[in-house]
Amino acid sequence: MTESRVPRRRRFLVCEPRHFAVQYAINPWMRPDVPVDVSLAQKQWRELIDTYRAHGHTVHTVEPVPGLPDMVFAANAAVVVGGRVFGSLFKAPERRPESVPYDTWFKSAGYDVYRPESVCEGEGDFVPAGRWILAGTGFRTTREAHHEAQEYLGVPVIGLTLVDPYFYHLDTALFVLDDEGEGNIAYYPEAFSPGSREVLARLYPDAVIATREDAMAFGLNSVCDGRHVFISPKATALAGRLADRGYVPVPVDLSEFHKAGGGIKCCTQEIRS
């Protein structure tokens, strides 16, 4: 049974991987001894941007800064809801300086930027889902930051505890399919604590459930525009389940970025005006 899904045009902020590298290890995917092919990474990233534009989405870019190899993961720099920019306070000292160029970009685009007091990593852990924001904790973003985000954005924040270090950010274990009406998501239940699994089952009885293989292939680090799902080509079981529900999987391979623990969504900040 397939329904006809309607896409909504999005505005994305991205950062070219000109200085991308794995120079330190702050998640289990990162191995500084394994080389990164920067020209392949650039090619894969370019393909993602071209694909977004071909599907009608607007893509803005922030200028990459030398010495900030993870700056390509634009999703981590802020969460933007209703034109309000809630900035990040990165956990790792290596990533803290990334906030400066991102905050500058938002300010020059005419936004105020809220500077949080507690550790939080933007859309890595804050996933706006329409009526509420799903928020991860356990590895990076703190409970205190969930509270700060709710106060600043004025949107209910629902805390979820992550328990598997391979899925250290919420956006590695869950993504939003629909953010209107009841809304819907896809996720990998085992990445969450028992209580958080119950919360997700209660909120989303109709969710698309992913396997561990899908999740390890960064299949949940996807971006959906309401119809198209920009997804890792290796998440085959998940792509099949999404197609059964009337979504259109659009495979984009970001394998070089998996070496840093990132995928499609990590490279994509959504600006919700």
List of residues contacting ligand ARG (CB under 6 A): 26-27, 30, 70, 73, 75-76, 95, 124, 169, 171-172, 260-262, 266
Mention every residue, 6+ apart, whose C-beta is less than 8 A from residue 86: 78, 79, 80, 114, 116, 120, 122, 126, 148, 149, 152, 153
CB of 70 to ligand ARG, least distance (A): 4
Residue nearest to ligand ARG according to CB distances in the complex: 266
C-beta of 75 vs 231, nearer to ligand ARG = 75
Q: How many CB atoms lie within 10 A of CB 123?
A: 26
**Residue 195 phi, psi dihedral angles, 5° rounding:** -65, -40
Distance, in Å, from the CA atom of 219 to the CA atom of 174, rounded to the nearest integer, reads: 9
C-beta of 76 vs 150, nearer to ligand ARG = 76
Q: Is 169 tagged catalytic? A: yes
CB of 194 to ligand ARG, least distance (A): 23
C-beta of 59 vs 248, nearer to ligand ARG = 59
Q: Is 266 tagged catalytic? A: yes
CB of 94 to ligand ARG, least distance (A): 9
DSSP, collapsed to helix, strand or coil, labels residue 185 as strand
Q: Using an 8 Å Cβ cutoff, are 150 and 105 in contact?
A: no
C-beta of 16 vs 70, nearer to ligand ARG = 70
Catalytic residue chosen out of the listed positions 15, 120, 224, 266? 266
For 147, how many CA atoms within 13 A lie in the half-sphere containing its CB? 5
CB of 134 to ligand ARG, least distance (A): 14
Catalytic residue chosen out of the listed positions 169, 224, 258, 267? 169
Q: Using an 8 Å Cβ cutoff, are 114 and 88 in contact?
A: no
- The token pair that represents 258 in the structure block: 């998996």
- Percentages helix, strand, coil for the chain (3-state, rounded to 5) are 30, 20, 45
C-beta of 163 vs 248, nearer to ligand ARG = 163
- The token pair that represents 174 in the structure block: 């869950």
CB of 52 to ligand ARG, least distance (A): 17
Element (H, E) at 176: strand 174-178
Residue numbers annotated as active site: 169, 266
